[in-house]
Structure formats: structure tokens, C-alpha cells
Structure 1
Amino acid sequence: MKLLTKTWIEEHLPHLASWKQSAFKDFSTMMNEKEHLYPCVPGKQGFNSDSLRFGFADSPVSPHAHKQAAEYLRQYSEVSRGTGKYASLVLFFNTEKQQGDIECYQDLFWKILNNIHAYDEKSWPEHIPLDPAQSAWEFCFHGEPYFVFCATPAHLNRKSRFFPYLLLAFQPRFVFDEINSETSQGRKLKNIIRTRLKNYDNAPIHPDLKWYGEDTNLEWKQYFLKDDNSSLSKCPFSGNKPTPPTRE
């Protein structure tokens, strides 16, 4: 099991399992759609510059898939800084036989994230609080802080969070060193992304989309956005490291 590049997948696509071929083709189409521009500019630039890294995992209801995700993220944490300016790890989960509504996928997402945390062999970074209720909190693994993005087959109105397979993307915090509220580039990019979101989604921009570090911002609320503007009142992530799940 190894991290994959866009170039490698394109060269070996005919030899991959049918669901993997489908997932990658759908992702490529989404990134390069001309009529409806994908809102995440850094993600699109990262894809076209071959800066993204990819992984394929089993059914997300299987604990083994969570272990696979943790291993991909461990590998990625060791090489991410050398992959490019717009770096991200994109994981596709095999949901060919998976059915469920948004709430089901929301529960599954947080279960996966908690189980990935259970496999973390490194200590949580001292400068990042363990309490998700603090504005400086963000998910960390292998000593690296990440913004986590989830897209599911159950999303209908919020097209920016729809994907035919369960998709998790892990964006390293260093990507935002030059893209934040303190930089002109960051402010300009935010306006571009919000304009694209308005044109892309059949839902208003979610009120939880804010800058990291803002007093009123909670990062975890941005990880999984519902089709409407509602959000959970409490973060399901537990800073206490549970015993890694056994394979079923």
C-alpha cells in the first residue's frame, strides 16, 4: 500500500479495480469541469500540478479501511512538504454497496477520524489544543495539523460536498501559510472561492465557513457540512486515544 500520484494513476488506470477507475475519473472530471468551476482553487491547482497524493481504501464501514487511511496519512505526513505548494492527501473509500443519508455519513466520518487518531503513534502537537471547542484546534496526525474535508454520495444541494464515493481530503496547515486572512492573496482567494460556491451549490454558503484562528471559528464544523445550514452542537472527536479497532 503506497501513496499514488495523478501521473501514476493515469498510467495504470486500466489495471485498477473498476471502482477505483470510476472514482479517479469522477474526481478528474470534477476538478476540470469548465462550465461549473470547482470552488476550491488550491485543490484544482494541486491536482493539475500533480501535487496531490491519492489512496484507495476499502468500505468505510470496515475497521480495516480506517487502518488503511491511517497508514496513508502516516506516509503522507512524512512527505507532504516536498509535494508542492498546494498539497493534499485525497482518500477514496469503496462505497459501491454503501447506502445512507447525510446523518449516516456524518457519523461514519467522525468514526473514521476517531479511529485514525487511535492509530497515531506520535504525540499530539503541544501548540494545538486537544479540545475541539477551542478556535485553535484542528485535527492532527503524526505530528502534523490538517484541515479535513469530507464529500459523500448523499449530498444533493451542496454540490461542493458531493462525490459518488466517500471522499476524505487532508490539507496540511502549511498550505495556508500564504493563504489566510492576514495576506492579500488569502483575502482575494476567499472572495473567488465564495463566488464560485454561490454558482456551484444549490444551497447558501454555510455560516460555519470561516478563517482558522478567528475567535468565532471552529474548524471541526467545517470538516463535514450538511446540505442545509445546520451543524452539530458538539464535536464528536475525542482527544482521548482509544484502542485501535480490530479488523472485522
Structure 2
Amino acid sequence: MLMFDKENLEHASPGGWMEEAYRFFSAKMSDTDHKFPCIPATIGYKLNHFRYVFLSDPRTPQASEQLAKSLAAYGDQSKEIGSYTSLIAIFETPADLVEQYHVEDYQGLFWDVLSKTSAQDEQPWPEHIPQDPDHNVWEYCYGDEQYFMYCATPAHQRRQSRHFPYFIFAITPRWVLTEFNKNMSAAAQIKKKIRERITEYDETGVHPDLNFYGSEDNFEWKQYFLSDDEQPAAGKCPFAHLHMKKI
């Protein structure tokens, strides 16, 4: 899989839908009038710490195969990129997908892609991370690396912080978030500002499932894909980890 950085995409565009998707992403990250809530994300974009991959229609087997290869390659190099790095995975999103899928449909698609991607992981699940998503320190892992997953879709409308014209994942290594939280006072101020920005950016309030990693009442999986309203996620995590036999 080809992996791009900001300079690649701005000076040697891949063309077609990929070029359009990147233009949308760039505009969202750099908008100074309607500021994207996640301040570290805007910094990562500006510093060229993001890496971008363009994947097939998420309904196809190729999409999870491509994401698996991308995560393996990214995991090998992420620590050399910068302290605000994330992998931005943008999927080809045909018109029929945009027209027919609602938020709930994209939610099912999100977990389906993650499960199929995980099935291709050649590394065992990290021993220090519980395999039960309802544990407060569980999070998605691939290639012995821990990640926070963010998903945005064309169907999200009220929650504009989770809206994007293409089906998109932003995948952030746990070590990036750990580094960010080292200065607890500064991190607390930024988190407060992020929540203030969310209330300005979205047409609905801060989602009740947003929490802090490691807190007793924290569920990472609930934060990966947020509803378009303020309804908390119900039931069990849809993620079907297919490598539980690995130790």
C-alpha cells in the first residue's frame, strides 16, 4: 500500500476521488473560522505528522486487507514520524454507499472492517491489554501496537466533528496520547478547550461516551464510533476479535 504525507499529496496528487478526499480533509483541518475541535489533530496536520492511505470500498474484502497492510507498515515507522502522528485511512465511498447508508449502517461497517482487519494480524494480542472490550483499559491493537480509533462518515450531520464526505478512520497510536498526557496541566487545559470547541462545532452536545483512557467507567470502544445525537452506546461491543486463541 502506498502511504503519503502532506507534501506528497500537495505536490504529486494521486488524482480522482483520492485528490478530492484529501482536499476535503485539508479544508477541515485548516479551517480557521470553523475550527475542528481536536486541537492535537490540527497540530498533527500542520506539522505533517499524519500519514495517509487510500483504501477500497469498505464493503469489499480488499479494504480490510489494505488496512491490515497499512497498519503493519505504519506501526513500523510511527515513532520516527513525530509526536502528533496519526494514520488517516480514507475509503473509496461510492454514491450508492452515501445514498443508502445511515449512521447505524456505517457503524456496523466500521466494526466489520476492524474485525476483518484484526483477523489478518500476525502478532498475538498484547498480553497487558485485556481481550474484553468492556474492560476499562481495552483498546484496539494491531501488530503489537495499541491504537485509538476515530471514525467519521457522510451520514453524520448534527455531529459535524464526525462528519466527512468519505468513510474515514483516524488511527492514533497509544504512545502519542501517553506523550500528550505527560504534562497533565497542559493536557487538561487542551481537553477543556476541545470540549468547548465541540459545543461550537456540532449541532448537538458533547457525547456522553467521551471519557478518559483508564478511568474506571471508561469504554474505549464506545468512543470510536459516536452516534449523531447524545444517546450513549448500548449493549455489548460489536467487535469480534478473531485472534483470541493467540497468546
TM-score bracket, normalised by the shorter chain, equals over 0.9
Alpha-carbon distance between aligned partners in 1 of 2:229 and 2:181, rounded to the nearest angstrom: 26
Segments of structure 1 that go 5 or more residues without pairing to the other structure are 243-248
Matches within 5 A, 1:173-192: 173-180=174-181, 183-192=184-193
Superposed CA RMSD in Å reads 1.3
Contact 1:149-1:223 within 8 A present in 2 as well: yes
Secondary structure of 1:24's match? Answer: helix
**Which residue pairs with 2:4 in the alignment?**
4
The two structures have a TM-score, normalised by structure 1, of 0.94
Whether the 8 Å CA contact 2:91–2:168 is kept in 1: the answer is: yes
Residue in structure 2 matched with residue 133 of structure 1 by the alignment: 134
Q: Distance in 2 between matches of 1:176 and 1:67?
A: 26
Task: Report the equivalent of 1:123.
Answer: 124
Question: Within 2, Cα distance between the matches of 1:190 and 1:179?
Answer: 11
Q: TM-score under structure 2 normalisation?
A: 0.94
Alignment partner, residue 221 of structure 1: 222
Q: What per-residue deviation string (whole Å, max 9, x for no partner) do you get for residues 20-73 of structure 1?
A: 011000000000111110011111111111100000001111011110011111
3-state SS, counterpart of residue 178 of structure 1: helix
Corresponding residue for residue 58 of structure 2 = 60
Structure-2 separation of matches of 1:41 and 1:132: 27
Q: Distance between the aligned counterparts of 1:51 and 1:175, measured in 2?
A: 11
How many aligned residue pairs are there? 240
Structure 2 counterparts to residues 35-50 of structure 1, below 5 A? 35-50=33-48
Deviation at 1:100, TM superposition (A): 0.4
Aligned to 1:80: 78
Per the alignment, residue 235 of structure 1 pairs with: 237
| Identical columns (%) | 41
* Structure 1 residues 88-99: aligned runs within 5 Å: 88-97=86-95, 98=97, 99=100
- CA shift for structure 1 position 181: 8.9
Q: Is the 8 A contact 1:135 1:213 kept in 2?
A: yes
The answer (yes or no) to whether the contact 2:106–2:153 under 8 Å persists in 1 is yes
